[in-house]
Structure 1
């Protein structure tokens, strides 16, 4: 993930945690991780692995897309920007993975 995206994700996690009136330690306990992991995510040092994102969303009471929403760009443009970074020979694989992730997220949200 690009540094700017890590910072944006971290800011959203921090905002959601504060809105939920949780301390980093409390969120870490809910997620089965350490306070240092929460701090690193919030500060844009590290990111959340895609398979773990639904757990973070539930703990913070937010929909999955909350963490990746960008008011400056439409979701379509963000998706195209990301897809344009993928090598041509891997694109079919990535699109297949995206479809599976979307189906999984739909199941989690319902």
Structure 2
């Protein structure tokens, strides 16, 4: 019964280095993508704010509400409120997708 003996350095040194470099590349790509999205969002916001007076009024009202909420409750409550709103929008979207899939399944069954 023979055993295979590994000789030389273990590949963990290069694996850790590769994992770190891969993580840094992904982090850099994520930061760049987020920066591009933020810049596009900012310019679209400025365009809509200047082009549509109704949007400007609504944006000012939302900014006034958020500023008052921040002053009254603090930064963590404000972040939590924004997160809750994002989560609620996501949940409504998922529910709509579920209903659409259910409707398609019923249509397929009826064929």
- TM-score of the alignment, normalized to the shorter chain, above 0.5: no
More helix by share: 2
Which structure ranks higher in relative contact order (CA pairs < 8 Å, sequence separation ≥ 6)?
1
